[in-house]
Amino acid sequence: MENMSSKMSFTEPGVRLSINLRERCRMHDLNEALDDLRAVIPYAHGGSVRKLSKIATLLLAKNHIIMQAKAIEELTVLVSQLKKKTSSENSEPAECVSTESSLSKASLSSEESSNSDNY
């Protein structure tokens, strides 16, 4: 232990200043990156709201990324279901499609007439 402390005391002051400067610059860069992250993640901004801590910023960003990934996954499933549905509708015979469209027109007409009776 004594050896280590004697080595520390023999380091040049310029080396220590250089190390401190490098660490200070690293912390400034880290704080700037966290400020940029706080600017883009959704949370209450304003004068009455305290700035998020470093760990709170990282946790909020992580949760936001997870939510976005889940939303993308759900939308991907929905899009694939819609593609399957439209491709199956396109492969049906023309008679079925025309019958379905005439049925939907008839149901719309009956709804419109019942709505006009309410006025």
More confident residue, 24 or 2: 24
For the chain, what are the domain ranges? 2-86
pTM over cut 0.85: no
pLDDT per position as a tens digit, 32-72: 999 999 999 988 777 778 889 999 999 999 999 999 999 99
* CA-based torsion, 34, 40, 46, 52: positive or negative: negative
**CATH number for the segment(s) 2-86:** 4.10.280.10
Separation between Cα atoms, residue 86 and residue 102, nearest integer Å: 18
pLDDT for 7: 56
For 8-42, b where at least 16 C-beta lie within 10 A, e where not — what string? eeeeeeeeeeeeeeeeeeeeeeeeeebeebbeeee
88-99 pLDDT tens trace: 888 765 555 454
